[in-house]
Amino acid sequence: MAETAKVTSPRTDDLARGPATARHPEPRRSAVRSLLRLWPFVRPVRTRLFTAAFVAILASCIGLVIPLVLKWLVDGPIAERDPAGAWLGGGYLLLLGLAEAGLFGLRRWLVARPLASVEAAMRDSLYRHVQRLPVAFHDRWASGQLLSRGTTDLQLLRLFLAFPLTFLLVNATTIVVGCVILLVQRWTLGLVLLAPIVPLIVLCSVFEARYAIAARRAQDQVGDVTTVVEESVLGIRIIKGFGRHRSQARAFRALTARLRTTELRKARLLATLWAFINALPELAIGAALVLGTVQVADGDLSAGTLVAFLSTALALMWPVESIGFLLAMSNDAAAATDRYFEVLDAPVADRDDVRAAPGGRPVPAAPDPETAGLAFHDVTFRYPDAPAGAPPTLQGIDLHIRPGETLALVGATGSGKTTLTALVPRLYDATGGRITLDGTDITTLTRDELRARVAVAFEEPTLFSATVAENVLMGGADAGPDDLVRALRVAQADGFVDALPDGRDTEVGEQGLSLSGGQRQRLALARAVVGRPRFLVLDDPLSALDVHTEALVEAALRQVLATTTALVVAHRPSTVLLADRVALLSGGRIAALGTHHELLRENAEYAALMSGAADDGSAVRREGESVR
């Protein structure tokens, strides 16, 4: 779900602690309140689920009829030595058993398809929401935590809806009906069997509170393990290159050991509960058996009644014994629900919707001819997780890029260049001031409208597990084969693409790691220009290219820049020369603005940056040649 690979830290102690995400979950709400949040997803299939629950209750109640048939059989045909009656009773028992089995099979068939639909709907909602969340959210969340919520947590929820949800209702109904039958048959023996109810309720309450904490901790730790596995795979070149595989393995074992400890704690809690849940009813049945046998011997109770009583008690053993693991599965599902909605509740914060007035209608900015093109008006930006009191990353940015103009943005590392470019497509929202496209505030545009006007190419090119053509055409919703050919030619990527095994239909693999850095960067540039955008934002688009390829790309890129309004982050003089004007960003502010030659003569900081950026004098020579 995350677009960029995160490289694992070589520090084993940091890795053993795991990602910082999910270290501070929301205050624990009751399992019932958590699980009720699933209702909007369950509502479309409620009819089949309710039908399945009714079928299961009917099957369970049929099971309670069997002891009554046994009572009639013992006190009637068996006591009277009537073979025909005994055969009849046996037939009744067989039919009841078949009916019970058939109804439980029907229940399973009823829930299979709808629950698969519920899981698919929840996964789709999570994925769509994650795609809409601002980049600031992804900066704070480890990708493994998001992956575990979309996989293992949803599997727990489907399992809960398939089994515990139904059988908590079924078993509760069975216990109530069974207790009524016991009390009706012999109320004194019934009270003996009901004696463990109070201690079991107290025990289950204590268990539920402790198990809920362990369940949440275990699921968070699964997310940590998932994060480490994903980062280790994506960062395998770093791990191997620095020989850190042993330390990474030790750190991974530390994480899995923590998860193992938590899972064992869950197992101990469940084992303790099961021990008491099994022991207390067994003791009650033993006491009832002794008391009932004495009453049969004294003639106060018929043998058939005792058989029926004990058969009913034994039929209730499974519903009682299942309380432990049904509670455990329910708390696992409640923790999974909390984790799922932690992501789904994260606010989108204006990224996908226009900024609205109190009446709910958009507030468009009045077009201003003087601000046609791309303009920054007193823009300020501070990262959401910046320390209190820290200065803003950007402050008081005033820039105006005229229609058809290319502005190069130059500055030292950490000056805020990439941050400024990220504000234009609203990967982040400015915390102060406003940004306009042809006089229209970008916050009044929907995401689709903004993305249709602005195309971006980042310094770190990201490719997806798809074909070359699919990766490039992501940059233009309406782009066709001719646009693809043109974009590859502009990025000087057509040569190496045609040499690939399947040409444009070649799968580039995860992150495009089967390609060189320069090849990935050229495809990212092709993706930016394929849709013929009106506004183009390029973050050092030529940094990974060799000198010869860079010159060819620059020549083709000049034609594209001539027909668009562009903001280009530049580190090398050769890239700066593509621009009409240059802005120097220093300390989060615009320190100078002018042409390349003006800033070279008049600004010492700019001259120093360009002097340090020239590599072996090649860029300077090309600059001189272009001037001549």
Q: What is the pLDDT of residues 477-511, one digit of tens each?
A: 778 888 888 888 888 888 888 888 888 888 886 66
| 313 and 437 within one domain | no
Instruction: Note the pLDDT tens digit of each residue in 360-385.
Output: 434 444 445 555 789 999 999 988 77
Q: Looking at the DSSP assignment, which residues form a beta bridge with residue 457?
A: 538
Is residue 7 domain-resident?
no
- 155-190 burial code (b ≥16 CB/10 A, e <16): ebbbbbbbbbbbbbbbbebbbebbbebbeebbeebb
Interatomic CA distance for residues 582 and 577, integer angstroms? 9
Is residue 613 domain-resident?
yes
Q: How far is CA 24 from CA 176, 216, 217, 254, 455, in A?
A: 40, 11, 11, 21, 37
Handedness of CA 256, 257, 258, 262 (dihedral sign): positive
CATH code, domain carrying 528: 3.40.50.300
Which has more confidence, 590 or 5? 590
Q: Quick one: pLDDT band at residue 91, thresholds 50, 70, 90?
A: confident
Q: Domain of 65? A: 39-344
Is the confidence at residue 448, as pLDDT, over 70? Answer: yes
Interatomic CA distance for residues 580 and 605, integer angstroms? 20
CATH code, domain carrying 52: 1.20.1560.10
Asked if residue 211 lies in contact with residue 270, where contact means CB atoms within 8 angstroms, the answer is yes
Share of the chain above pLDDT 90, in %: 6
- Ranges 87-96, 412-421, 585-594: which has the least confidence: 87-96
Is residue 159 domain-resident?
yes
Amino acid (1-letter code) at residue 514: S
Which has more confidence, 18 or 448? 448
Q: Quick one: pLDDT band at residue 6, thresholds 50, 70, 90?
A: very low
Among 573, 579, 482, which residue's Cα sits nearest to residue 536? 579
Is the confidence at residue 311, as pLDDT, over 60? Answer: yes
Instruction: Note the pLDDT tens digit of each residue in 66-78.
Output: 777 777 777 677 7
- Ranges 11-15, 197-201, 324-328: which has the least confidence: 11-15
Q: How far is CA 110 from CA 22, 39, 244, in A?
A: 36, 18, 51
- Ranges 111-120, 312-321, 421-430, 542-551: which has the least confidence: 542-551
pLDDT of amino acid 28: 55
pLDDT of amino acid 613: 56
| 428 and 282 within one domain | no
Is the confidence at residue 623, as pLDDT, over 60? Answer: no
pLDDT of amino acid 286: 82
Interatomic CA distance for residues 177 and 194, integer angstroms? 13
If you average pLDDT over residues 82-92, what whole number do you get? Answer: 78
If you average pLDDT over residues 344-363, what whole number do you get? Answer: 54
Instruction: Note the pLDDT tens digit of each residue in 508-537.
Output: 866 666 787 778 878 888 888 888 888 988
Is the confidence at residue 254, as pLDDT, over 80? Answer: yes
pLDDT of amino acid 372: 78
Asked if residue 331 lies in contact with residue 215, where contact means CB atoms within 8 angstroms, the answer is yes
Instruction: Note the pLDDT tens digit of each residue in 323-344.
Output: 887 888 888 888 899 999 999 9
Is the confidence at residue 474, as pLDDT, over 80? Answer: yes
| 429 and 330 within one domain | no
Q: Quick one: pLDDT band at residue 168, thresholds 50, 70, 90?
A: confident
| 307 and 431 within one domain | no
How big is the chain by its Cα radius of gyration, in Å? Answer: 35
Judging by beta carbons within 10 Å of its beta carbon (0-12, 13-18, 19+), is residue 19 exposed, middle or buried? buried
Share of the chain above pLDDT 70, in %: 87
Interatomic CA distance for residues 485 and 480, integer angstroms? 9
pLDDT of amino acid 219: 87
Interatomic CA distance for residues 266 and 207, integer angstroms? 10
Is residue 546 domain-resident?
yes
Asked if residue 397 lies in contact with residue 593, where contact means CB atoms within 8 angstroms, the answer is no
| 300 and 215 within one domain | yes
| 448 and 405 within one domain | yes
| 430 and 299 within one domain | no
pLDDT of amino acid 370: 57
Q: Quick one: pLDDT band at residue 614, thresholds 50, 70, 90?
A: low
Mean per-residue pLDDT over the chain, rounded: 79
Is residue 138 domain-resident?
yes
The tokens for 3 are 């677009």
Is the confidence at residue 140, as pLDDT, over 60? Answer: yes
Question: Could you write out the DSSP letters of every residue in 522-542?
Answer: HHHHHHHHTT--SEEEEESTT
If you average pLDDT over residues 182-200, what whole number do you get? Answer: 80
The tokens for 413 are 């590392």
| 406 and 293 within one domain | no
pLDDT of amino acid 381: 92
Is residue 364 domain-resident?
no
Query: Based on the structure, what is the number of domains in the chain?
Result: 2
Interatomic CA distance for residues 81 and 84, integer angstroms? 9
Is residue 233 domain-resident?
yes
If you average pLDDT over residues 224-228, what whole number do you get? Answer: 85
**Within 13 A of 48's CA, how many CA atoms are on the CB side?**
18
| 407 and 336 within one domain | no
| 87 and 147 within one domain | yes
| 534 and 440 within one domain | yes
Is residue 47 domain-resident?
yes
The reply to whether the predicted model has a pTM over 0.85 is no
Q: Quick one: pLDDT band at residue 584, thresholds 50, 70, 90?
A: very high
Q: Looking at the DSSP assignment, which residues form a beta bridge with residue 537?
A: 456, 567
If you average pLDDT over residues 173-183, what whole number do you get? Answer: 82
pLDDT of amino acid 379: 92
pLDDT of amino acid 244: 76
Interatomic CA distance for residues 362 and 354, integer angstroms? 6
| 134 and 45 within one domain | yes
Maximum C-alpha span of the chain: 123
Residue with tokens 């958009």: 362
Instruction: Note the pLDDT tens digit of each residue in 150-166.
Output: 888 898 898 888 888 88
Reduced to 3 states, what is the DSSP secondary structure of residue 589?
A: strand
Question: Could you write out the DSSP letters of every residue in 441-499?
Answer: EGGGS-HHHHHHHEEEE-SS----SSBHHHHHHTT-TT--HHHHHHHHHHTT-HHHHHT
Q: Looking at the DSSP assignment, which residues form a beta bridge with residue 153?
A: none
The tokens for 113 are 């398809």
pLDDT of amino acid 625: 40
